[in-house]
Amino acid sequence: MGSFLSSLFAIILWIPFGIAGWVGYGFDTIKNKEFSILEPGIVYSSKQAESLGLQATSTFLAIVNELQPRYIRLVAYWDRIEKTRGVYDFSEIDEYFKIAQDRDMKVTLIIGEKVPRWPECHIPEWVRGTDPNEHFGKLKEYMATLIKRYAPSRSLEYWQVENELFFKFGDCPKPSAKEFQDELKLVRSIDPNHPVLVTGSGEMSTWLRPFWYGDAAGISLYREAVFKTRWFSWRVSYPLPPLFYGYKARVMSALFGKILMVTELQLEPWFTEDLKSVSIKEQMATLSPQKFEKSVMYAAQTRIPRVYLWGVEWWYWLNEQGVDSYWSYVKKYVFKN
């Protein structure tokens, strides 16, 4: 019920910020003919790379060498790091941090059990079915070990604790506000030197929790979404102008004295099945190069400085298949090195 009311209130907020955004957008486009994302970054998922048939670490190296992003969000998958109880394998994340440090990139490390990519909650098999208290205890042990390992890194910029935890999406246990606060306390007690980022849905949340709990707030920005029921699914385009996000960000930042960034800009087609199982023709029909470019421009027009682009594994994979339009565009117009 709480999740429903929160989403309802978020939609109600579309009206004042949407109207202001449409008016402001009109004046903005008259005054400004060119827009660009001031601080572009990427989100990288080893699981997504592998789902497309790519080798995760070498693909990451190739991506950062070509795009040279300054900002990166990396995902620490619990079920990948602690496959066996008490046995940690940090070799992959270690390599990512080494690559980032060698290139002076700033890393946001996403930790917890609800982190990006389906099924959203990435829980080791040995944890499933255990007592909830034991489950949470093991999660905290894993997080503490992770935090102690990467807190000294000079590449680390933010800890992100969970990902859009209170947005009802994914195959996840019901979130607990108390447990989430315990996770935040754990991070801050072990590493008081790095700020904590908390994220929420850009369209279907009020943004109050990210600003309340985090030292900085992050939101996703989706132009389209797919809603699925037992019987059917439908694709929806959000009727929001770019300055809906920009004006709402200014108001919330002024109220809380904290910055907001776009942590997930939709630049990958959304299907209810795995991407690789869909033909490239259908992928490109769903998110054409023209629509892709408009989404980048839309994000720039929000006037939110920091924007992390979602879908880098897909653009790279398509480029490897001989479809270079997406890759070439971001390389030339977003990461202008």
pLDDT at 287: 97
Between CA 235 and CA 59 the distance in angstroms is 31
Quote the crossing angle between the two packed helices 56-67 and 91-102, to the nearest 10°: 10
* CATH at residue 101: 3.20.20.80
pLDDT at 7: 74
What are 31's strand-pairing partners?
none
Residue 329: name the closest of 305, 293, 301, 297 by CA.
Answer: 293
pTM, full prediction: 0.94
pLDDT at 4: 62
SS3 120: coil
Between CA 72 and CA 261 the distance in angstroms is 13
pLDDT at 20: 74
Tokens at residue 156, please? 């680390």
pLDDT at 16: 77
Per-residue DSSP letter, 84: B
pLDDT at 44: 98
pLDDT at 314: 98
Rounded to 10 degrees, what is the CA torsion of 203, 116, 93, 309? Answer: -40
- Ramachandran sector of residue 113 (left: φ over 0; alpha: ψ -120 to 50; beta: rest): alpha
pLDDT at 328: 97
CA 52 to chain centre: 19
Which amino acid is present at 31? K
Domain count, the chain: 1
CA 307 to chain centre: 10
Asked whether the bond before 40 is cis by omega within 30 degrees of 0, the reply is: no
Between CA 71 and CA 308 the distance in angstroms is 8
**pLDDT tens series, the chain, 337 aa:** 456 667 776 878 777 777 777 777 655 655 565 679 999 999 999 999 999 999 999 999 999 999 999 999 999 999 999 999 999 999 999 999 999 999 999 999 999 999 999 999 999 999 999 999 999 999 999 999 999 999 999 999 999 999 999 998 899 999 999 999 999 999 999 999 999 999 999 999 999 999 999 999 999 999 988 877 666 677 888 999 999 999 999 999 999 999 999 999 999 999 888 898 999 999 999 999 999 999 999 999 999 999 999 999 999 999 999 999 999 999 999 997 6
Q: In angstroms, what CA-CA distances link 9 with 94, 200, 203, 275?
A: 42, 14, 11, 33
pLDDT at 272: 84
Which structural domain range is residue 188 located in?
A: 2-334
